[in-house]
């Protein structure tokens, strides 16, 4: 929120400064071009007057045809507003002078010589008025020299430039204020739904994790953001839910063997027993201890997997040989149910941890044996998917697993038949972490596993890279 406020403050200031800068450059350009234009106009006007005067000077001798000469000068100057002319002969005497400012105050002989020499104009300030001055020197036929000085007042131009500057200044201020107000309002309008959204998000806590932000209450451009956020909430809720169930399940699984042990001990202590009877009871207790110990080591194994500490000890494995050995290992169990194993196909050797992969496959096989009806067949198929990937399919007949359960089979403590596994006297079902361990092992080998089931069979499909 604080960050938001900072952005909402910064942005209008930036917009305002940019507008101000742009308009300043624009007004500078306008002012500059007008000034250049007016200088050019003055210079052209002064030069044209001086040329006309010099033409008259070379045509008439001002001393002889004085009246005619003055009349022509008047004609030349007609129409030129606030333009003044001075003609000085080589003795320094003023031959002609229009009524106007006394330029000799501002125009020293040196400055005058420079103007003439460099063919340039100069600015002179007389009586608080500013003039642009041009001058030229002409030698006429009789050898006489005349200096013509022309000056034009700049007051109007300066006044116009001043007004222009003032107007542009006001325009810049108004534009900046408008840009500031406009950008503040735009930010406020666009930020409003975001702020509402932030408030809603801030209200979400562990207790209201099932709350979802309605996509209908946000502008269309934020719908995908809200949908993504709601999806994150879905995933988080799922994780929290599983975490919660996980703790409850561990407590339950630990309570069962401890209750068994407590009850058994209480019964034993009620009466005196023979050494043989005590031995038997201790054996039975040992079974419960082993179950607990197994459960704890399974939990530790999964915790290791969660912390990415499950590092396979890689060696070259012949999967065909390894599975054959496992089938032999399970023979007493399969014989009991008259189940047979059928190992089909083959694949190249892979790099893997023999103990871990053995544990994973035996978990799947023990499930398969548990859920296969008597006198049926469990099929294990090995195949080479690509040069670098192999596939193991373990398929057993039995009741179809509903598709809604399939993605959860690998979750910890997940069992399809809740009532059956909660029956503490039912030894046919396990804790429900066998497949979770399988998944951790396969993923530690950079492989993947999924389950599929139909009316004919349930299949566990493992994909493994040959090289890790």
Ligand X SMILES: Nc1ncnc2c1ncn2[C@@H]1O[C@H](COP(=O)(O)OP(=O)(O)OP(=O)(O)O)[C@@H](O)[C@H]1O
Q: Which positions lie near ligand X, rule CB under 6 A?
A: 363, 367-368, 371, 396, 398, 401, 409, 414-416, 429-436, 458
How far is it, in rounded angstroms, from Cα 89 to Cα 95? 6
Q: Which does 382 bind (CB under 5 to 8 A by kind): Mg ion, ligand X, none?
A: none
3-state SS assignment for residue 315: strand
Smaller CB separation from ligand X, 345 or 432: 432
Q: Which does 371 bind (CB under 5 to 8 A by kind): Mg ion, ligand X, none?
A: ligand X
Smaller CB separation from ligand X, 358 or 434: 434
Output the six-digit token pair for 5.
């406020």
Distance in Å, CB of 364 to ligand X, minimum: 7
Nearest to 314 by CA among 358, 356, 353, 350: 353
Nearest to 147 by CA among 53, 239, 226: 53
Distance in Å, CB of 371 to Mg ion, minimum: 10
Smaller CB separation from ligand X, 212 or 459: 459
- Cα 220 to Cα 191, 200, 216: the distances in Å are 14, 17, 8
Helices 155-203, 2-59: axis angle to 10 degrees equals: 170
Q: Which does 432 bind (CB under 5 to 8 A by kind): ligand X, Mg ion, none?
A: ligand X
How far is it, in rounded angstroms, from Cα 315 to Cα 349? 10
Residue nearest to Mg ion (CB): 434
Distance in Å, CB of 247 to ligand X, minimum: 17
Distance in Å, CB of 417 to Mg ion, minimum: 13
Distance in Å, CB of 286 to ligand X, minimum: 19
3-state SS assignment for residue 406: helix
Q: Which does 398 bind (CB under 5 to 8 A by kind): Mg ion, ligand X, none?
A: ligand X
Residue nearest to ligand X (CB): 430
Smaller CB separation from Mg ion, 209 or 461: 461
Nearest to 257 by CA among 434, 410, 417, 430: 430
Smaller CB separation from ligand X, 27 or 429: 429
Smaller CB separation from ligand X, 58 or 399: 399
Residues that bind Mg ion (CB under 5 A): 367, 430, 434
Enumerate residues 6+ apart whose C-beta is below 8 A from 251: none
Q: Look-up: residue for tokens 């040992």?
A: 286
């Amino acid at each position: 929120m604080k960050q938001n406020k900072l952005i909402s403050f910064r942005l209008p200031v930036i917009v305002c400064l940019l507008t101000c800068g742009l308009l300043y450059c624009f007004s500078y350009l306008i002012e500059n071009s007008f000034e250049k234009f007016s200088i050019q106009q003055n210079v052209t006007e002064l030069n044209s007057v001086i040329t006309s005067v010099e033409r008259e000077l070379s045509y008439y001798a001002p001393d002889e045809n004085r009246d005619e000469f003055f009349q022509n000068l008047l004609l030349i100057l007609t129409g030129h507003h606030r333009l003044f002319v001075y003609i000085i002969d080589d003795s320094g005497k003023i031959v002609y002078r229009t009524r106007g400012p006394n330029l000799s105050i501002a125009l020293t002989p040196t400055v005058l010589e420079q103007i003439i020499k460099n063919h340039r104009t100069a600015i002179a300030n007389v009586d608080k008025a500013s003039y642009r001055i041009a001058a030229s020197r002409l030698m006429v036929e009789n050898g006489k020299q005349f200096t013509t000085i022309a000056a034009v007042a700049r007051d109007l131009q300066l006044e116009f430039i001043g007004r222009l500057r003032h107007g542009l200044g006001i325009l810049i201020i108004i534009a900046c204020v408008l840009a500031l107000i406009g950008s503040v309002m735009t930010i406020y309008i666009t930020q409003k739904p975001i702020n509402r959204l932030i408030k809603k998000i801030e209200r979400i806590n562990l207790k209201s994790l099932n709350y979802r932000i309605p996509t209908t209450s946000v502008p269309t451009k934020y719908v995908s953001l809200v949908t993504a956020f709601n999806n994150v909430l879905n995933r988080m809720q799922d994780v929290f839910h599983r975490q919660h169930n996980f703790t409850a399940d561990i407590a339950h699984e630990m309570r069962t063997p401890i209750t068994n042990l407590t009850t058994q001990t209480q019964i034993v202590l009620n009466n005196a027993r023979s050494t043989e009877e005590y031995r038997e009871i201790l054996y039975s207790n040992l079974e419960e201890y082993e179950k607990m110990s197994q459960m704890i080591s399974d939990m530790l194994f999964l915790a290791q997997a969660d912390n990415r500490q499950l590092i396979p000890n890689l060696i070259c494995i012949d999967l065909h040989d390894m599975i054959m050995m496992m089938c032999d290992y399970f023979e007493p169990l399969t014989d009991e149910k008259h189940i047979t194993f059928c190992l089909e196909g083959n694949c190249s050797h892979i790099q893997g941890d023999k103990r871990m992969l053995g544990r994973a496959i035996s978990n799947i096989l023990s499930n398969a044996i548990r859920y296969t009806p008597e006198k049926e067949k469990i099929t294990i198929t090995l195949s080479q998917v690509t040069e670098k990937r192999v596939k193991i399919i373990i398929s057993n007949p039995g009741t179809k697993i509903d598709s809604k359960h399939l993605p959860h089979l690998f979750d910890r403590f997940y069992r399809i038949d809740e009532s059956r596994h909660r029956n503490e006297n039912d030894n046919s079902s396990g804790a429900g972490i066998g497949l979770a361990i399988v998944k951790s092992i396969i993923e530690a080998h950079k492989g993947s596993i999924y389950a599929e089931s139909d009316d004919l069979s349930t299949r566990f499909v493992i994909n493994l890279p040959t090289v890790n």
